[in-house]
Amino acid sequence: MAIIINLDVMLAKRKMRLNELSERVGITQSNLSILKQGKAKAIKISTLNIICDILDCQPGDILEYSRDKTA
């Protein structure tokens, strides 16, 4: 996949656990886990907006593009 998800990095920087983010965003912990593992097929802009608001970050802090499709 060419898109790398750095959600775990942002969670660590904010000293927040996945279950706390899940509760605050309003989506299941398993859905956030799928996103964190890079297995999600899509993410709603509204969900990304809420995540960025809660983690006080930019979308580019969570999503990274890599030309190497094996990343």
Q: Taking Cα atoms as reference points, which of 12, 30, 32 lies closest to residue 21? A: 32
Per residue in 29-58, pLDDT (tens digit) is 999 999 999 899 999 999 999 999 999 999
In the prediction, which pLDDT does 68 show?
A: 75
> Which CATH architecture does the domain made up of 3-65 adopt?
Orthogonal Bundle (1.10)
% of the chain residues with pLDDT over 90:
86
In the prediction, which pLDDT does 67 show?
A: 83
Q: Answer whether residue 18 shows pLDDT above 70.
A: yes
Quick one: CA torsion of 36, 27, 41, 6, rounded to 10 degrees? -20
Does the predicted TM-score (pTM) go above 0.75?
A: yes
